[in-house]
Amino acid sequence: MSTLAQKKGFGAVLWDYLTTVDHKKIAILYLIAGGFFFLLGGLEAMFIRIQLAVPNNDFVSAGLYNEILTMHGTTMIFLAAMPLIFAFMNAVMPLQIGARDVAFPFLNSLGFWLFFFGGVFLNLSWFLGGAPDAGWTSYASLSIASEGHGIDFYALGLQISGAGTLIGGINFLVTIINMRAPGMTYMRMPLFTWTTFVTSALILFAFPALTVGLFLLIFDRMFGSNFFDPAMGGNTIIWEHFFWIFGHPEVYILVLPAFGIFSEIFAIFSRKRLFGYSSMVFATVLIGFLGFMVWAHHMFTTGMGPIANAIFAVATMAIAVPTGIKIFNWLFTMWGGSITFTTPMLWAIAFIPSFVAGGVTGVMLASAAQDYQYHDSYFVVAHFHYVIVGGVVFALFAGAHLYWPKMFGTMLSEFLGKITFVLFFIGFHLTFFIQHFLGLWGMPRRIFTYLPGQGFDTSNMVSTVGAFFMAAAVIILLINVVITSVKNEKVGNDPWGDGRTLEWAIPSPPPFYNFKQLPLVRGLDAYWLEKMEGKKGMSPAEPLGDIHMPNNSFVPFVISFGLFVAAFGAMYHNEHSWGIPVLIVGMLITLGSMFVRSVKDDHGYHIHKEDLEDNNDKGVKA
């Protein structure tokens, strides 16, 4: 079918991406949008470090600093890390289970556009009177007292993008439960698929808590309710609970897929199956489960009393056990293996000591009585950057290099990749290691400046220098991406040579229907098994037949756009008469397009058997 391969004009490509329901293209959308927000959050981080480089600095003003720190945290968590994780989940998970797409391609697209419009809405605050300034945690007394519309942007923006995340999570759950290829039992699923599965379950249970909290905040700020006003019988502590009932699982939502990516990398580049696969699965599920039992360790100093503090302290420490199991399993995956130090593997190897350092400070923080000293100090800042950068961001870099060929059909330069790695690794430890000590020496977090004579000066300068290394590393990665795209040297199915799972059995990038014939899975590391038996590809599990495909749709874009419009109405209705009409128009756009989607039958289309037979170079070979 030659028409499929024809070159398209820019307009056609744009329209294709605006309407696509293909998980691989949605993955690219997530990668681009998440990458953009990652750069934005990184820029904010640089402003923070420049401001703190010397005492009494006036690079940014006090109020602006609070906006920057809030947007740095919010952007990095919700608009950079999550979407980038979603990019890899979308790109890889359906391939790993041998599916032709996710269960609900339409919802997949809707999830992306909701996230995108929520993120854009949140960032428009910079141009419309000021960004939110109450921290990414947005604790109620401060967020209610905050003037201007910053917090409104936060609450509405996150509400919209949060809905997208929830939809995405449900979609992945259903996909993994229903769409595994013949023979792909649960205990044969690659670990990245497992972590996607558990993460999606966490999203399903954690995000509603955020949704509820944000709705209460929206009503308090925009519609005159008093859920968080103690003078009116409200309570601010309840926000802290809502936020952390969401916020703690959120940490695992980010880090479990990172574990998944690393599990793949260790196995591939050690040429060994994952050591203790079943205990890895068990540990993943256990971490997910315990992740819901520990939220109050973020509130040890809130005054919950010794009983609650003691219970949550011990529960939190328990998480160290399954995490420790994982670390040792990774080490023993490499033990006796044949290790090659590719860029993804370098990130994975560097992840182990970095993440262990973040993990052990986590145990120290879990110990309630000593946490009273660490809480809200730079010690905590150091800890969570070790976990989130050393865990999640390392995984994103590793994943980007590992899956780039599968997503785009080209290899990122290994040479530049290694330079990126070295610079980032040095910069990361230079920036954050010293911050443990800053916290112990008495420096609170979220301060826009500090006075000289407290022993903070040199260490803050060191930390700032480190940040510039990380910035340089990211710039080199961007150069790498550009060079690679311009060169455009295509690679084959299994560019790393040691691929173990199904995604490496099909072309890079895969045809839009992924598998011409669904593969037959005969065990863990299905593709590896076939290779070891001297076969070139997977055995098909079905005869060649018509493939049912979904149609593209512009409706998800319109649904999300409606909410984006409605959010402006909700925000401005107290001061502008056009507020309520705009709110109604926005909701009508959303509900109207949902109605159209509901009444208009869209049966998709079929790729015919004859067309598939034409291009034998694509899809699974029998």
Partner 1 sequence: MKRLAKWRLFSLFAMMALILSACSGEPYLSTLKPAGEVAQTQFDLMVLSTVIMVGVIAVVTIIFFIVVFKFRRKDDRIPKQVEGSHKLEIIWTVIPILLLLILAVPTVSATFKLADVGPMEKKNEDGKTDALVVNVRANLYWWEFEYPNQEIITGQELVVPTDEKVYFNLIASDVKHSFWIPAVGGKLDTNTDNVNKFWLKFDSEKAADADNLFYGKCAELCGPSHALMDFKVKAVPRDEFDQWATAMAEVKEPKKAETDLAQAGQEVFNNSCIGCHAVTPANTAPEAARLAPNLTNFGDRDRIAGVLDHTEDDLKDWLRDPETFKPGNKMTGTYGELSEEELDALTEYLMGLKVTEQ
Binding of residue 483 to partner 1 (CB under 8 A): no
Binding of residue 61 to partner 1 (CB under 8 A): yes
Q: Which of 541, 555, 537, 540 is nearest to 592 (CA)?
A: 555
Q: Which of 419, 266, 412, 235 is nearest to 337 (CA)?
A: 266
Q: Of the two residues 180 and 445, which places its CB atom closer to partner 1 in the complex?
A: 445
Q: Of the two residues 38 and 277, which places its CB atom closer to partner 1 in the complex?
A: 277
Supply the minimum distance, in Å, between the C-beta of residue 530 and partner 1.
14
Q: What are phi and psi of 490, to 5 degrees?
A: -75, 150
Binding of residue 134 to partner 1 (CB under 8 A): yes
What DSSP line would sit under 463-484, residue for residue?
Answer: HHHHHHHHHHHHHHHHHHHHHH
Q: Of the two residues 273 and 597, which places its CB atom closer to partner 1 in the complex?
A: 273
Residue of the chain from 36, 59, 139, 219 that contacts partner 1 (CB under 8 A): 139
Supply the minimum distance, in Å, between the C-beta of residue 48 and partner 1.
13
Supply the minimum distance, in Å, between the C-beta of residue 560 and partner 1.
31
Q: Round to whole Å and give the CA distance between 172 and 548.
A: 20
Residue of the chain from 4, 13, 310, 483 that contacts partner 1 (CB under 8 A): 310
Reduced to 3 states, what is the DSSP secondary structure of residue 431?
A: helix
Q: Round to whole Å and give the CA distance between 239 and 375.
A: 18
Supply the minimum distance, in Å, between the C-beta of residue 224 and partner 1.
19
Residue of the chain from 11, 224, 305, 534 that contacts partner 1 (CB under 8 A): 305
Report long-range pairs for 1-6 (Cβ below 8 Å, ≥24 apart).
Answer: 1/607, 1/611, 1/614, 1/615, 4/512
Contact region for partner 1 (CB under 8 A) — 86-94, 122-130, 241-249, 270-278? Answer: 270-278
Q: Of the two residues 270 and 517, which places its CB atom closer to partner 1 in the complex?
A: 270
Reduced to 3 states, what is the DSSP secondary structure of residue 145?
A: helix
Q: Which of 245, 319, 333, 332 is nearest to 283 (CA)?
A: 319
Binding of residue 62 to partner 1 (CB under 8 A): yes
Supply the minimum distance, in Å, between the C-beta of residue 488 and partner 1.
29
Binding of residue 573 to partner 1 (CB under 8 A): no
Binding of residue 251 to partner 1 (CB under 8 A): no
Binding of residue 53 to partner 1 (CB under 8 A): no
Supply the minimum distance, in Å, between the C-beta of residue 364 and partner 1.
5
What DSSP line would sit under 576-606, residue for residue?
Answer: -TTHHHHHHHHHHHHHHHHHHHHHS----EE
Binding of residue 442 to partner 1 (CB under 8 A): yes
Supply the minimum distance, in Å, between the C-beta of residue 138 and partner 1.
10
- Applying the rule CB under 8 A, the residues between 314 and 333 that interact with partner 1 are 314, 317-318, 320-321, 324-325, 327-329, 331-332
Q: Round to whole Å and give the CA distance between 82 and 206.
A: 14
Binding of residue 60 to partner 1 (CB under 8 A): no
Binding of residue 620 to partner 1 (CB under 8 A): no
Binding of residue 544 to partner 1 (CB under 8 A): no
- Applying the rule CB under 8 A, the residues between 145 and 184 that interact with partner 1 are 145
Q: Round to whole Å and give the CA distance between 532 and 98.
A: 19
- Applying the rule CB under 8 A, the residues between 376 and 415 that interact with partner 1 are 376-377
Q: Round to whole Å and give the CA distance between 259 and 266.
A: 10
Residue of the chain from 46, 50, 120, 339 that contacts partner 1 (CB under 8 A): 339
Q: Of the two residues 175 and 323, which places its CB atom closer to partner 1 in the complex?
A: 323
Q: Note whether 118 and 524 are within 8 A (CB).
A: no
**Angle ∠(4,400,36) on CA atoms, nearest 5:** 85
What tokens does 117 get? Answer: 């419009």
Q: Round to whole Å and give the CA distance between 160 and 150.
A: 16
